[in-house]
Amino acid sequence: MSKRISNPNAQIALKEFIGRENNYIHFEYENEMKQYEMMKNGDPGAADESHRMMAENNSTLADDPVTNMKYLMVCNATLMTRFAIEGGLNSETAYNTSDLYIYNMNKCTTVQEVLDLHYEMVTFFTAQMQKLKKQNIYSRQILL
């Protein structure tokens, strides 16, 4: 039987209060989306931007730091997959890429290992998007 959260509104309000008091705030939505747009566009800086955001993330999804980072990576992998598909990557390739990295993430035992694997994942997705962009570029002579 699943455990229900008692009074979620009060617990969310408490988290918001504690966050304000400790100056822990989530990234602004637009700033968070930047990393995904960069990846979707094949921007080589996407991995660095995403890595920075992962390392600076103040979300607490678990008490254990490694588990917390793993959850953040799963969230990130999910969004990277959706943005890659939106950018033209074959959906089966995108989902299998996500599955591969999440599966291997489970073998990580330190926060740094998760961060390193996350960086590799974003780099891979970005490279796939760069390939797509190059496939869609034709010289003027070919188009005429």
What pLDDT is attached to residue 137?
Answer: 63
What pLDDT is attached to residue 110?
Answer: 98
3-state helix, strand, coil in the chain (%, to 5): 70, 0, 30
User: Over its length of 144 residues, how does the chain's per-residue pLDDT go in tens digits?
Assistant: 678 888 888 988 887 787 777 777 677 888 889 999 999 999 999 999 999 999 988 788 899 999 999 999 999 999 999 999 999 999 999 999 999 999 999 999 999 999 999 999 999 999 999 999 888 765 445 545
- Which among 78, 85, 81, 73 has a CA at the least distance from the CA of 118? 73
> What is the pTM (predicted TM-score) of this model?
0.83
